[in-house]
């Protein structure tokens, strides 16, 4: 698979390099030169396959040159070795597609675990690798668990201090061993900036074998395409005809993957790009002006991002496919409305969490007659236990993944959002 840098099209790399580098020159994102497709004749066959076989077929469309199907199958099986997504009926025409049944209870397990498999199998010389990543909540846990105890890999995760839920923090800051966690006195955007600065520092990058695991990494994005096909395979012929998918967006990786599934040939009628008050994209789609504001904290903290990294990929995809950005539906939801929507879902018999509730809200507001809607359940409600219990005035129980970690001490370091401080840390620890 060839990829080009969106900021400098003359920089072209293969899949292996794109996975290892994360970002290209000038911090440009990598984008596939060829956009593979699945023909309408192939599609029903692919939809009938089991999740692992189908995911192998889909990923093989992109990386057939660098990995045999047999080897890819083994990697996919290892990466997606957990309970598959579930489709839950909320109303007749709105269902939730729950992607949070992995080891860290968020959809990010798909991307992080596949990326870990790719790094492991591409690192033939067993060089030492440092994975540096920023998290607004769930990436940290997914990446930490995916690489936990992996040989030759050191993982460093930055997160905004006090801006992720207590349980999210417990999930990845209690592991130790090859996982180092650093709370930053700032916002997620500050963390993301520090990561970018580290990648810009060539010497540092080479001396510690720096690699990124953010949703900017192409391997994570590709893995996420697979569950859109799974969603489609689970709905009826009738529902397939007018399918609308509402995606809770932060860095816009999930939506990019969804759009890539459409570009492959999955006939999804429309997507809704859903954000909280950090609404740079909805405002852009509304008035054509890219005008990020200061990031504000909300109860859907994994979406507290005002400069979404993946957006240039979405623009590029629309350009390449000659799609019109006007076809992308969008909206933003305040905390007050998110709470209302959580209560509405509760009355419908479903306990959700703030991220999915935003997608639900925009879906139920925008779904037209004869359309069928799925909203993505991106994290398990128990990860936001305190918030949700307060809003719904009900008790929710913790799954074992969280129960096991809650009593363990936090092992995080803490630094100010200053690059020299991070650099010292990277070189010392
Ligand atoms: C990461 C995350 C999101 C945002 O996903 P992006 O791919 O960054 O847009 C939404 N909800 C939850 C629970 C998340 O962890």
pLDDT of the chain, 429 residues: tens digit per residue: 999 999 999 999 999 999 988 888 888 999 999 999 999 999 999 999 999 999 999 999 999 999 999 999 999 999 999 999 999 999 999 999 999 999 999 999 999 999 999 998 887 777 888 999 998 778 889 999 999 999 889 999 999 999 988 888 999 999 999 999 999 999 988 998 999 899 889 899 888 988 877 668 999 999 999 999 999 999 999 999 999 999 999 999 999 999 999 999 999 999 999 999 999 999 999 999 999 999 999 999 989 999 999 999 999 999 999 999 999 999 999 999 999 999 999 999 999 999 999 999 999 999 999 999 999 999 999 989 999 999 999 999 999 888 889 999 999 999 999 999 999 999 987
Give the distance (Å) from ligand 1 centre to CA of residue 395.
25
Which atom of ligand 1 is the closest one to the Cα of 257?
Answer: 7
Domain range summary for the chain, segments of one domain joined by +: 84-104+218-396
pTM, rounded to two decimals: 0.93
**161 Cα to the center of ligand 1, angstroms:** 18
Q: Is 251 in the pocket of ligand 1 (CB under 6 A)?
A: yes
Please work out whether the CB of residue 119 comes within 6 Å of at least one atom of ligand 1.
Answer: no
Does the Cβ of 249 fall within 6 Å of ligand 1? yes
Predicted local distance difference test score (pLDDT) of residue 421: 96
CATH architecture of 84-104+218-396: 3-Layer(aba) Sandwich (3.40)
**Ligand 1 neighbour 379 (Cβ under 6 A):** yes
Mutate to test the pocket of ligand 1, among 248, 280, 360 (most ligand atoms within 8 A of CB): 248
Atom of ligand 1 nearest to the CA of 249: 9
What is the atom index within ligand 1 of the atom nearest the CA of 353? 13
**How far is the centre of ligand 1, averaged over its atoms, from the C-alpha of 40 (Å)?**
30
pLDDT value, residue 214: 67
Residue 188 is predicted with a pLDDT of: 87
Nearest-CA residue for ligand 1 atom 4 is: 250
Q: Does residue 171's CB lie within 6 angstroms of at least one atom of ligand 1?
A: no
How confident is the model at residue 157, as a pLDDT? 95
Compute the distance from residue 378 Cα to the ligand 1 centre, in Å.
7
Mutate to test the pocket of ligand 1, among 97, 221, 249 (most ligand atoms within 8 A of CB): 249
Q: Which atom of ligand 1 is nearest to the CA of 100?
A: 13
Query: Hey, whose CA ends up nearest to atom 2 of ligand 1?
Result: 302
C-beta 160 within 6 A of ligand 1: no
Ligand 1 centroid, distance to 307 Cα (angstroms): 14
Q: Which pLDDT does position 215 carry in this prediction?
A: 65
302 close to ligand 1 (CB < 6 Angstrom): yes
Cβ(138) – ligand 1 distance below 6 Å: yes
Task: Calculate how far, in angstroms, residue 380's C-alpha sits from the geometric centre of ligand 1.
Answer: 12
**Binding site membership of 256 for ligand 1 (Cβ less than 6 Å):** no
Tell me, in angstroms, the distance from the centre of ligand 1 to residue 252's CA. Answer: 8
pLDDT of residue 91: 98
Ligand 1 pocket, residue 133 CB under 6 Å: no
Q: How far is the centre of ligand 1, averaged over its atoms, from the C-alpha of 10 (Å)?
A: 31
Taking the CA of residue 348 as centre, how many other CA atoms within 13 Å lie in the half-sphere pointing to its CB? Answer: 19
Pocket lining: 378 vs ligand 1, CB cutoff 6 Å: yes
pLDDT given for residue 127 in this prediction: 82
Name the closest-CA residue to atom 15, ligand 1.
138
């Amino acid at each position: 698979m060839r990829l080009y840098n969106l900021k400098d099209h003359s920089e072209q790399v293969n899949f292996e390099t794109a996975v290892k580098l994360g970002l290209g020159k000038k911090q440009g994102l990598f984008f596939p030169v060829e956009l593979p497709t699945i023909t309408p004749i192939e599609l029903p066959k692919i939809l009938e396959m089991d999740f692992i076989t189908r995911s192998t077929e889909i990923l093989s469309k992109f990386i057939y040159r660098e990995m045999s199907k047999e080897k890819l199958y083994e990697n996919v099986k290892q990466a997606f070795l957990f309970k598959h997504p579930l489709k839950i009926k909320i109303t007749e025409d709105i269902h939730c597609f729950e992607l949070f049944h992995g080891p860290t209870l968020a959809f990010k397990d798909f991307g992080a675990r596949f990326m870990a498999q790719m790094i492991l199998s591409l690192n033939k010389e067993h060089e030492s690798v440092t994975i540096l990543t920023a998290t607004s909540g769930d990436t940290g846990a997914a990446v930490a668990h995916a690489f936990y105890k992996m040989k030759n890999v050191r993982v460093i995760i930055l997160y905004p201090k006090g801006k992720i839920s207590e349980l999210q923090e417990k999930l990845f800051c209690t592991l130790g061993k090859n996982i180092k966690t650093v709370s930053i006195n700032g916002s997620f955007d500050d963390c993301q900036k520090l990561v970018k600065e580290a990648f810009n520092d060539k010497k540092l990058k080479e001396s510690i074998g720096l690699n990124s695991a953010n949703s900017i990494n192409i391997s994570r994005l590709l893995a996420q395409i697979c569950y859109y096909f799974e969603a489609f395979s689970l709905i009826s012929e009738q529902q397939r005809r007018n399918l609308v998918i509402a995606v809770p967006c932060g860095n816009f990786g999930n939506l990019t993957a969804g759009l890539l599934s459409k570009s492959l040939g999955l006939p999804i009628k429309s997507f809704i790009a859903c954000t909280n008050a950090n609404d740079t994209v909805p405002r852009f789609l509304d008035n054509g002006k890219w005008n990020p504001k200061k990031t504000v904290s909300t109860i859907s903290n994994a979406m507290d991002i005002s400069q979404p990294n993946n957006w240039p990929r979405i623009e590029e995809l629309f350009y390449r496919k000659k799609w019109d950005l006007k076809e992308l539906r969008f909206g933003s939801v305040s905390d007050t409305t998110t709470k209302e929507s959580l209560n509405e879902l509760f009355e419908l018999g479903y306990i959700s969490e703030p991220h999915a509730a935003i997608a639900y809200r925009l879906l139920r507001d925008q779904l037209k007659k004869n359309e069928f809607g799925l909203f993505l359940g991106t994290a398990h409600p128990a990860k936001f236990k305190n918030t949700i219990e307060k809003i719904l005035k009900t008790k929710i129980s913790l799954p074992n993944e969280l129960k096991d970690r809650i009593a363990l001490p936090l092992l995080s370091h803490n630094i100010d959002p200053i690059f020299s401080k991070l650099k010292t840390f990277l070189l010392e620890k």
